[in-house]
Amino acid sequence: MNTHIGIHAKKTISCTFCDKTFTNNRDMTTHVRRNHTGEQPFSCEQCQESFYSKDELRKHINAHLMAHECKVCHKTFGEYDQLARHFLIHTGEKPFTCKLCGKSFRLRPHVIKHVKIHDGAANRRNGSTVATNVPVAIGTVPPTQFYTYTKPRPIDEYVDIKEDL
């Protein structure tokens, strides 16, 4: 509640290292630790990893409680989808493929960013020499028209991960 009231009071606390201002001490202290001093006073009792704030430690502890562990590097994730996305690093799978040039990507945002290089009008504006044969401006149609998605092999199919990879 005090944090919310501080927003309306327009009271500001300035960082002693830079010109950034905050409406409460907690946010300013976390900023100083994260950006200036590197201090991490909050430690996880389970794995001894340290954090800048109680909030970061709380999120980390929740990941332990709801952990999905990678069979290869033992990194843990709070959600199975996060583990599945991470696991592509180990398998080398790149399920998103540009329909225009065939280049593949592990993550959807990367292929969406990539297809923009094929936009002829944009390339002419910035002087690029990337070949394009796209009849429409890429931003005018849904990006899904420019890439395909192939569902990756399920994690559970990697029986002995050391031998499969």
pLDDT at position 104, please? 95
pLDDT at position 165, please? 47
Which is it for strands 21-22 and 13-14: parallel, antiparallel or unpaired? antiparallel
User: How many CB atoms are closer than 10 A to CB 152?
Assistant: 16
pLDDT tens per residue across span 42-67: 999 888 999 989 988 988 887 777 77
Q: Is 50 helix (H, G, I), strand (E, B) or coil?
A: strand
Going residue by residue through the chain (165 aa), what tens digit of pLDDT does each one get?
A: 555 555 555 778 999 999 899 999 989 998 999 899 999 999 998 889 999 899 889 888 877 777 788 888 888 887 788 889 999 999 999 999 998 889 999 999 999 888 888 776 555 555 554 555 555 566 667 778 888 999 888 887 775 554 444
> Which amino acid does the sequence have at 104?
S
Domains of the chain: 2-65 (3.30.160.60), 68-92+153-164 (no CATH), 96-149 (no CATH)
Instruction: For the full predicted model, state whether its pTM sits above 0.75.
Output: no
Closest CA to 144 of 98, 105, 104, 81: 98
Q: Tell me how long the chain is.
A: 165
pLDDT at position 127, please? 55
Q: Which two tokens stand for residue 3?
A: 């944090």
